[in-house]
Amino acid sequence: MSANPQRPCDDCQSSFDRRSFLQSVGGTVLTGLAAQAIWAPASSALYAAPSKSSAAESAAGRLFASLNESQKKTLVFPFDHELRSKVNANWHITKPLVRDDFFTKEQRALVTEIVKNVTTPDGYERIVKQTEYDDGGIGGYSIAMFGSPDSDKFQFELTGRHLTLRADGNSVDKAAFGGPIVYGHGEEDPKENLFSYQTKQVNEVFGALDAKQAKAALLPKAPNEAAVPIQGAGKTYPGLAISELSADQRALVEKTLKTLLGPYRSEDVDEVFEILKASGGIDQLHLAFYQQGDLGDDRVWDIWRVEGPAFVWHFRGAPHVHAYVNIGTIG
């Protein structure tokens, strides 16, 4: 895999034999879209969540303390600033890049430490490979901080091409990951793409459906990939209700959710499942696959969506992947 920071992120046209490919490795990519506010914070905290003393948040606090006044004027915003509630698959929330002389060597190391600590070793390795390909490494990304670690509300955010990550120590209650995130990879060769293993896993669920279930789950056209607002209870969601599945099928869905969450630290994953439990469990989720964008016409569905009252995971894998994740409750 070779880096190509200048490669455009336009839709591509390709065909390939992915039946054999999806048995081994997979991939994702994200593209730039207009920033949009899609998540509203709630008020009461859940038990399982990162804290101010978690490893990533501790490193973010040390990074904040190391900033001089000039840096703070550029990087630090009030906690309720509108930029914190926006998400975009290809933007820089502030202008200085981590690799710029604007930051010291120690500050750049702290940014890397934060990224390591909001991910698992596998997740971090994927982010390193993705950022190196897409923009020359984590140094090609930018950071912002909202609020102060000395207060109850503080969030670190990393943005750039095909990546948004947050660390907030549960400053935003009932919002997994501190708010919506995006992930991806600009590699257009599916054999080199980093996240298609997720499509393989989700399609394993589709393969376990009977004819009636598959008909309900498979829809012709996907919604806007970036439209992932938390809707709450009593809404209509696309696709097949997980409550309609057998116990074995529901167990496969739970395995799939754990696979999707695999790149992220256990504290965030625990919060995701607390949020799911509080919103009625996985039986409240729906799973949709889309005929649109079936690469190679092989019926390995490249665009899929998992959605429920407090959970949206939209994965557009054709002609390359754009993934938007928003998990939380409204209240």
**Residue 237, C-beta contacts closer than 8 angstroms, at least 6 positions apart:** 231, 285, 286, 288, 307, 308
Comparing 24-33, 77-86, 148-157, 273-282, which segment has the lowest mean pLDDT? 24-33
Write b or e for each residue in 250-279: b if 16 or more Cβ atoms lie within 10 A of its Cβ, otherwise e: bebbeebbeebbbbbbebbbbbbbbbbeeb
- Beta-ladder partners of 165: 158
The pLDDT > 70 percentage for the chain reads 85
Q: How far is CA 54 from CA 19, 49, 158, 258, 328, in A?
A: 41, 10, 17, 21, 20
Structural Rg of the chain based on CA atoms: 19
Whole-model pTM above 0.85?
Answer: yes
Q: How far is CA 132 from CA 94, 108, 128, 135, 266, in A?
A: 20, 15, 6, 6, 25
Q: What is the tens place of the pLDDT at every residue in 155-190?
A: 999 999 999 999 999 999 899 999 999 998 887 766
Q: What is the tens place of the pLDDT at every residue in 298-330?
A: 899 989 999 999 999 999 888 777 899 999 997
Give the count of beta carbons closer than 10 Å to the beta carbon of residue 315. 26
Residue 114 pLDDT more than 90? yes
- pLDDT in the model for residue 213: 98
